[in-house]
């Protein structure tokens, strides 16, 4: 279960093991580190947020934010979501990079893959991180018995998921649904939600995320 607890010391919050957990063996982790580092600094300065102010807004320690901006750590999926929500920007704004317009091919070996701290959940972006967009497309993999707890996203955000293989148990607020291959579900993602795999087989699914409200 991807939850984060923080150790508060005088002056600042130190990064915990959960915050520092990264997929160091992933070939894309070094590239992700550089991209997130530059985007985080740019967005934070543009909005006029100090590290302390952003830390209080997103619930990620000041020390961790500093390490990310220095390129010393690759944040997990949940930490990135916390930061994006604190900055009030789409998730993709932290991962976007300059690219060509028109037809853009993303080879599988070059796509960005992010992991939960427990490594039971992974998310692979299937869209280019360039330009402003309100819709994002992901491949999600949830390992057998895995659970991924997601905090509420920005107001108006929706998710549309289709299961390709395996089974998905989805909790949205108090409602729980179970999906099998070819089943799909649409729900508001600005409330607490949780993905779980109740089987001994891997679950593969695709997610379309839509930010309906203006995000400033």
Flag whether 102 is in a domain: no
Digit-coded pLDDT (tens) for 11-20: 434 444 334 3
Flag whether 122 is in a domain: no
Distance CA 123, CA 5 (A): 22
The percent of residues above 70 in pLDDT, for the chain, comes to 79
Which pLDDT score, from 0 to 100, does residue 78 have?
84
What dihedral angle (degrees, nearest 10) is formed by the CA atoms of 54, 210, 111, 124? 90
What is residue 121's three-state secondary structure? strand
Which pLDDT score, from 0 to 100, does residue 23 have?
40
Angle at 78 between CA 209 and CA 127, to 5 degrees: 35
Range of the domain at 147: 134-211
Output 46 or 181, whichever has higher pLDDT: 181
Flag whether 43 is in a domain: yes
Q: CATH code at 161?
A: 2.60.120.10
Together in a domain, 23 and 74: yes
Tell me how many domains the chain contains: 2
Mean pLDDT of 173-181: 97
Digit-coded pLDDT (tens) for 99-142: 555 667 777 877 778 888 889 999 998 887 665 668 889 999 99
Classify each residue of 33-51 as buried b or exposed e, where b means 16 or more C-beta atoms within 10 Å of its C-beta: bebbbebbeebbeeeebeb
Output 202 or 119, whichever has higher pLDDT: 202
Tokens matching residue 28: 């894309």
């Amino acid at each position: 279960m991807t939850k984060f607890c923080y150790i508060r010391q005088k002056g600042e919050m130190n990064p915990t093991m959960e915050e520092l957990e990264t997929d160091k063996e992933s070939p894309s982790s070094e590239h992700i580190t550089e991209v997130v580092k530059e985007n985080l600094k740019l967005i934070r300065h543009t909005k006029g947020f100090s590290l302390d102010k952003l830390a209080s807004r997103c619930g990620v320690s000041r020390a961790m934010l500093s390490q990310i901006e220095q390129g010393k750590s690759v944040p997990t999926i949940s930490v990135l979501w916390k930061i994006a929500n604190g900055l009030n920007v789409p998730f993709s704004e932290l991962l976007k990079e300059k690219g060509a317009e028109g037809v853009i091919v993303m080879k599988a070996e070059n796509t960005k893959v992010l992991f939960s701290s427990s490594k039971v959940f992974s998310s692979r972006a299937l869209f280019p991180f360039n330009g402003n967009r309100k819709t994002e497309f992901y491949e999600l993999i949830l390992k057998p018995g895995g659970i991924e707890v997601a905090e509420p996203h920005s107001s108006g955000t929706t998710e549309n998921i289709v299961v390709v293989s395996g089974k998905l148990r989805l909790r949205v607020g108090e409602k729980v649904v179970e999906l099998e291959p070819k089943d799909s579900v649409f729900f508001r993602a600005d409330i607490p939600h949780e993905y779980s795999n109740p089987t001994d087989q891997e679950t593969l699914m695709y997610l379309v995320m839509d930010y309906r409200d203006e995000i400033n």
